[in-house]
Amino acid sequence: MTPLRLLAIVPAYNEAGSVGRVIEEIRAAQPGFEILVVDDGSRDGTAAVARAHGAHVVSLPFNLGIGGAVQTGYRYAHAHGFELAVQVDADGQHDPAELGALVRPVLAGQADFAVGSRFAGGGSYRAPLGRRLGIRLFAGTISRITRQRVTDTTSGFRAANRRAIELFAEDYPHDYPEVETTVMVVKERLRLVEVPVTMRERTAGRSSITAARSAYYVAKVMVALFVGLFRAPRLERA
Amino acid sequence: MTPFRVSVVAALVSFALLLVVLELIRSRRLRERYALLWLLTAVVLLVLSLWRGGLDTLAGLAGIAYAPSALFAVAGVFGVAVLLHYSTVISRLSDENAILAQRLALLEAEHAAAAVTAEPGSRHVLQAVDAEGDDPGARTATVQDLGAVRRDVQRAHRAAGGQLDLD
């Protein structure tokens, strides 16, 4: 039997300061993974750093935003026949040492999609008040929609099997995709599981979500969630 | 006071706008990013159509004698806002379109150079480059690509066991 093909997708926008360490940590923790850095139109040499650390690099010609960058990774995974893909942020807030725990339910066939959650027990992540309220709002809404307890809808630490990869290669939300993908996955009858993880303080760069964009973020996601309920599913039923 | 009939018609029209925008999002013909302003427009117009007292107050504040005119004014302001928003979007799209065209042209040039080196024997490459160089329009591109072509030729030669120094 040939070994499973595993891909770590690392979306990076101006993360030259931290992407190298993230690549090394992934390789140290999980040598079986190929690493793809999707450089989302960075201007600080992120792609060169990633290449120097031996990762595959896809450079987008201009900034597409996190959704477009991550979907590029899933399209790559789909086109190259990877059986499992994980998303790891390039800013160092996800600990590759926890990749094993994250992929376990997916590899064991218990779930199609696993999300590393900061709030599902374990960890002591403390977000600022505004962010905490937003996360609470989304988590509550999503739990109600999916009829499943979801605690962390904004986590970008995720693992997808073949079917989830296929779905995301086909259709992935723009701008701020994490919340919507959670609903998409459940709507497509894929099995979603949350895995408790600890996240670190970011080592470089800043969150893409500034105060000024928060209102837009919340409004956009709520509209997308509401309208998304009335959309036809994309994947054929297994 | 706004005539009752005006309120009813305005409410129906804004509600229809709301439904159309939602359906466009649902059928993926309109992205949420570009729909938010439309949704806001539809909701504000709907509220002002139904809330007749509010419209009268607003008209009074703005010194508009005939309240339904205030509804037109609000719709006009939102119309301008949407247009301005789209102007910025179009500007960004045309910038990105230029970047894409340039990337594609550069990739095609690289791709063509790589295809030429794939032929056995390096003389083809040099001839091809010379031939291209005769066309003044292609000269700039050729000079830029020469470094890549040279590297490919050297790599091909090393692979064939020989050594070639073009420099």
Domains and CATH numbers, chain A: 6-228 (3.90.550.10)
Query: In terms of Cα–Cα distance, which of A20, A162, A29, A196 is closest to A85?
Result: A162
Mutant choice from A63, A179, A223 vs B, greatest count of B C-beta within 10 A: A223
pLDDT of residue A125: 62
pLDDT of residue A202: 62
Distance (Å) from the alpha carbon of B85 to chain A's nearest alpha carbon: 14
Q: Quick check: A194 and A98 in contact, CB under 8 A? A: no
> Helix (H, G, I), strand (E, B), or coil: what is residue A64?
coil
Mean pLDDT value across chain B: 79
Give B75's pLDDT tier (boundaries 50, 70, 90). very high
Burial class of A112 by CB neighbour count within 10 A (0 to 12, 13 to 18, 19+): buried
* pLDDT per position as a tens digit, B23-61: 999 998 998 888 999 999 999 999 999 999 999 999 999
φ and ψ of A148, to 5 deg: -150, 140
B9, pLDDT greater than 50: yes
Burial class of A35 by CB neighbour count within 10 A (0 to 12, 13 to 18, 19+): buried
Q: What residue segments make up the domains of chain B, in order of their start?
A: 4-100, 118-159
Nearest to A223 among B36, B95, B99 (CB): B36
B123 versus A72: the higher-pLDDT residue is A72
pLDDT (tens digit, 0 to 9) for every residue of chain A, 238 residues total?
567 899 999 999 999 999 999 999 999 999 999 999 999 999 999 999 999 999 999 999 999 999 999 999 999 999 999 999 999 999 999 999 999 999 999 999 999 999 999 887 755 566 677 777 887 888 888 898 888 888 888 899 999 999 999 999 999 988 789 999 998 998 899 999 999 998 887 655 556 666 767 888 888 888 888 888 888 777 776 5
B91, pLDDT greater than 90: yes
Q: Quote the CA–CA distance of A192 and A189 in Å, as a whole number.
A: 9
B157 versus A154: the higher-pLDDT residue is A154
pLDDT of residue B12: 96
Q: Note the pTM of the prediction, 2 decimals.
A: 0.78
| ipTM reported for the complex surpasses 0.85 | no
* Beta-carbon separation of A227 and B39 below 8 A: no
Nearest to B26 among A216, A220, A230 (CB): A230
Query: In terms of Cα–Cα distance, which of B105, B113, B103, B99 is closest to B147?
Result: B113
Distance (Å) from the alpha carbon of B68 to chain A's nearest alpha carbon: 29
Using alpha carbons, list the distances in angstroms from residue A81 to A74, A90, B107, B140, B157.
Answer: 10, 23, 25, 40, 33
- Of all residues in chain A, the one with the smallest CA distance to B22 is A227
Q: Tell me if chain A has a CB within 8 Å of the CB of B92.
A: no
> In A, which residues are within 8 Å of B35 by CB distance?
223
Give B136's pLDDT tier (boundaries 50, 70, 90). very low
- Of all residues in chain B, the one with the smallest CA distance to A175 is B33
Q: Tell me if chain A has a CB within 8 Å of the CB of B99.
A: yes
* Beta-carbon separation of B32 and A220 below 8 A: yes
The span from the first CA to the last CA of chain A, in angstroms, equals: 24
B163, pLDDT greater than 50: no
* Beta-carbon separation of A220 and B103 below 8 A: no
What would the two tokens of residue B98 be?
């230029």
Give B146's pLDDT tier (boundaries 50, 70, 90). low
Residue A36: partners with Cβ closer than 8 Å, 6 or more residues away = A7, A8, A9, A10, A55, A56, A57, A58, A73, A76, A77
A132 versus B158: the higher-pLDDT residue is A132
> In A, which residues are within 8 Å of B100 by CB distance?
61
Q: How far is CA B48 from the centre of its chain?
A: 33
Q: Chain A 46-75, CB below 8 Å of chain B: which residues?
A: 61-62
> In A, which residues are within 8 Å of B28 by CB distance?
231
> In A, which residues are within 8 Å of B96 by CB distance?
61-62
